């Protein structure tokens, strides 16, 4: 009698191979995400991104300058548009 009771209470039945692979794949994905987050928190900045003095590298300075120039141009255009109104 108890075997019929447990089978009626089990909504999903036995796990098939796809469910098992999916479950373990999700576990592996979660562990990978934790490793990535931990490495971004605990590992130091590599020497490539730092200059000899521990400053930001030249490539990063150039990209920052380009972004700042684009922001300035946008601001100027926005002010000119306001003046026309």
Residues 14 and 40 in one domain: yes
The arithmetic mean of pLDDT across residues 13-35, rounded, is 93
Give the total number of structural domains in the chain: 2
Tell me the residue range of the domain where 80 lies.
57-85
Does 52 reside within a domain?
A: no
Residue 53 near residue 61, CB atoms below 8 Å: no
- Dump pLDDT digits (tens) for 34-85: 999 999 898 887 766 555 555 556 677 777 888 888 888 877 888 787 777 6
Does 9 reside within a domain?
A: yes
- Tally of CB atoms within 10 A around 57: 14
Does 18 reside within a domain?
A: yes
Residues 2 and 34 in one domain: yes
Strand partners, 50: 56
Between CA 27 and CA 75 the distance in angstroms is 47
Does 51 reside within a domain?
A: no
List, in sequence order, every beta strand (DSSP E) within 1-85.
Answer: none
Does 49 reside within a domain?
A: no
Residues 39 and 61 in one domain: no
What is the structure's pLDDT at 54? Answer: 54
The arithmetic mean of pLDDT across residues 21-36, rounded, is 96
Look up residue 64 and give its two tokens. 């920052």
Q: CB-based burial of residue 13 (10 Å sphere; 0-12 exposed, 13-18 middle, 19+ buried)?
A: exposed
pTM for the structure as a whole:
0.41
Does 50 reside within a domain?
A: no
């Amino acid at each position: 009698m108890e075997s019929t009771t447990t089978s009626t209470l089990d909504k999903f039945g036995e796990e098939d191979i796809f469910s098992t692979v999916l479950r373990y794949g999700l576990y592996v994905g979660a562990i990978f995400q934790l490793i990535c987050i931990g490495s971004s928190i605990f590992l130091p900045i590599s020497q490539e991104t730092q200059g000899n003095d521990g400053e930001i590298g030249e490539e990063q300075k150039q990209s920052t300058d380009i972004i700042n120039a684009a922001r300035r141009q946008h601001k100027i255009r926005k002010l000119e548009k306001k003046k026309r109104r």
